[in-house]
Amino acid sequence: PARARKRTPLTLRATAGLRLLPEGPAAADAIMDAVRSKLVRTGFDVDPSRGVSILSGDDEGLYGWVAVNYLLGRVGGPGGGRSQNQNQNTVALADLGGG
């Protein structure tokens, strides 16, 4: 709800599409600055120095691995509870896009 915006943290992380822009890092920085400027004005709790950034390839891969294994019930779960699949091994993830 609108009344909770200032208490709701908002973070944005861009991925390979911005890391690999043919126009280079200056273009990516300009895009991120514009996005940061817009998000800060939304009323959400956006940290202007750290709330908008570009993920490293390693972090992007790690978040992908966590997401897949969470969705399969292999790690985590709603409310921190254990699911019936958590006794199984996690699955591997091969991210073939970006860089």
**60 is a catalytic site residue:** yes
Catalytic residue among 36, 60, 69, 74: 60
**Alpha helices for the chain (secondary structure H):** 16-19, 25-40, 57-71
Residues 6+ apart with CB under 8 A from 28: 14, 18, 19, 21, 54
Encoded amino acid at 17, one letter = G
Q: Which residues are catalytic?
A: 60
